[in-house]
Structure 1
Amino acid sequence: MTFTQTHALRGRGRLGIRLAAVALAGATVVTLAPAAAMAAAPAGTAGASGISGTSGAEARAGGVDAQAELQAFIADGSSTAAFAEVRQNGRRIWRGAAGTSDLTTGQPVRPDGRFRIGSVTKTFVSTVALQLVAEGKLRLDEPVERYLPGVVPNGGAISVRQLLNHTSGLYDYLEDPRFFYRDEASLREYVYGPSRRQDYRPEQLVAIGVAHAPYFAPGQGWKYSNTNYVLAGMLIGKLTGNSWQREVERRIVKPLHLDDTVFPRSETGVRGPHAHAYAKLQEGPADITRLNMTVADAAGNGISTPADLNRFHAALFGGKLLRPAEQAELTRTVPTGSGHSSYGLGVAQADFGCGPLWGHDGGLPGWGTLLFGTADGKRQVALSYNPYEGTDQSGLDAAVVNVAIKTLCGGAAAPAGAVADAAAGLSTLRGASAAGATH
Structure 2
Amino acid sequence: MTRALGADGALLGGGSIGSLIGGLLDAAPVSGGTIAIARGGVVEQRAFGTRGPGGRPVEIHDRFEIGSISKTVAALAAARLEAEGVLSLDDPVRTYLPWLELPEGAGEPSLRHLLAHTAGWISGNSASPGEIAQALSLPKTRTLTAPGERFHYSNVGYVVLGLALAEAAGTAFPRLLAEELFGPLGLPGALASLTGVERARLCPGTVPTRDDAQWAPGDPLSQQSWVEPAGADGNVGASARELLQFGLALTNPTSFASESAWLPAAVAAIATLTAPSGEDILGAGPHLRVRGARYGLGVNVEPTAHGTLLTHGGGMIGYGAFLVAHPELDLTVAVLLSTPGEWPHAELLARAAHAELVAEQVGGAAGADGGDIAGGAPDPIAALRVTRGPLSRGAGDAARLAGHYRSYTPWCPHYEVGVSSEPGVAGRLVLRAYSGVEAPTEDTPLVPIAEGGGYTVGAEPGTPERARFSNFIGGVAQTLDIDGCVYSRVVDR
Q: Structure 1 432/374 Cα, relative in aligned 2: closer, same or farther at 3 Å?
A: farther
Q: Distance in 1 between the 2:301 and 2:295 partners? A: 6
In the other structure, the counterpart of 1:121 is: 70
Q: Structure 1 126/273 Cα, relative in aligned 2: closer, same or farther at 3 Å?
A: closer
> CA-to-partner distance for each residue in 1:65-110, whole Å, 9 max, x for gaps?
7222222322213222232011123431x222332224344x2222
Native 8 Å contact 1:398 1:419 kept in 2:
no
- The structural deviation recorded for 1:224 is 0.8
Native 8 Å contact 1:280 1:388 kept in 2:
no
Q: Structure 1 398/128 Cα, relative in aligned 2: closer, same or farther at 3 Å?
A: closer
Q: Distance in 1 between the 2:101 and 2:300 partners? A: 25
In the other structure, the counterpart of 1:32 is: none
- The structural deviation recorded for 1:126 is 0.9
In the other structure, the counterpart of 1:307 is: 241
Higher RCO structure, 1 or 2 (CA under 8 Å, sep 6+)? 1
Q: Distance in 1 between the 2:347 and 2:37 partners? A: 19
- The structural deviation recorded for 1:432 is 8.7
Q: Which one-letter code corresponds to 1:124 in the other structure?
A: V
Q: Distance in 1 between the 2:88 and 2:226 partners? A: 37
Q: Structure 1 420/141 Cα, relative in aligned 2: closer, same or farther at 3 Å?
A: farther
Give the helix-richer structure, 1 or 2: 1
Q: Which one-letter code corresponds to 1:280 in the other structure?
A: T
Question: Please, which of 366, 371, 376 is the counterpart of residue 413 of structure 1?
Answer: 366
Q: Distance in 2 between the 1:313 and 1:58 partners? A: 22
TM-score by length of 1: 0.69
Q: Structure 1 326/103 Cα, relative in aligned 2: closer, same or farther at 3 Å?
A: closer
Q: Distance in 2 between the 1:58 and 1:79 partners? A: 21
Q: Which one-letter code corresponds to 1:335 in the other structure?
A: P
Q: Distance in 1 between the 2:182 and 2:115 partners? A: 21
Question: Please, which of 332, 336, 354 is the counterpart of residue 277 of structure 2?
Answer: 336
TM-score by length of 2: 0.62
Give the strand-richer structure, 1 or 2: 2
Q: Structure 1 157/259 Cα, relative in aligned 2: closer, same or farther at 3 Å?
A: closer
Q: Structure 1 58/109 Cα, relative in aligned 2: closer, same or farther at 3 Å?
A: closer
Query: Gaps spanning 5+ residues in structure 2: where?
Result: 212-218, 281-290, 384-438, 445-456, 466-493
Native 8 Å contact 2:316 2:340 kept in 1:
no
Q: Which one-letter code corresponds to 1:140 in the other structure?
A: L
Q: Structure 1 236/60 Cα, relative in aligned 2: closer, same or farther at 3 Å?
A: closer
Greater CA radius of gyration, 1 or 2?
A: 2
Q: Distance in 1 between the 2:142 and 2:375 partners? A: 35
Q: Distance in 1 between the 2:247 and 2:85 partners? A: 24
Q: Distance in 2 between the 1:209 and 1:100 partners? A: 40
Native 8 Å contact 2:118 2:150 kept in 1:
yes
**Segment drifting more, 138-147 vs 160-169:** 138-147
Q: Distance in 2 between the 1:209 and 1:432 partners? A: 24
**Segment drifting more, 114-123 vs 255-264:** 255-264
1:171 correspondence with 2:139? no
Q: Distance in 2 between the 1:357 and 1:171 partners? A: 27
**Segment drifting more, 58-67 vs 339-348:** 58-67
CA RMSD of superposed structures (Å): 3.9
1:109 correspondence with 2:58? yes
Query: Gaps spanning 5+ residues in structure 1: where?
Result: 1-51, 179-198, 425-429
Q: Distance in 1 between the 2:267 and 2:135 partners? A: 28
Q: Structure 1 60/121 Cα, relative in aligned 2: closer, same or farther at 3 Å?
A: closer
Q: 1:395-410 residue pairs with structure 2 within 5 A?
A: 398-410=348-360
Q: Distance in 2 between the 1:69 and 1:230 partners? A: 35
Native 8 Å contact 1:164 1:345 kept in 2:
yes
- The structural deviation recorded for 1:255 is 2.3
Q: Structure 1 332/374 Cα, relative in aligned 2: closer, same or farther at 3 Å?
A: same
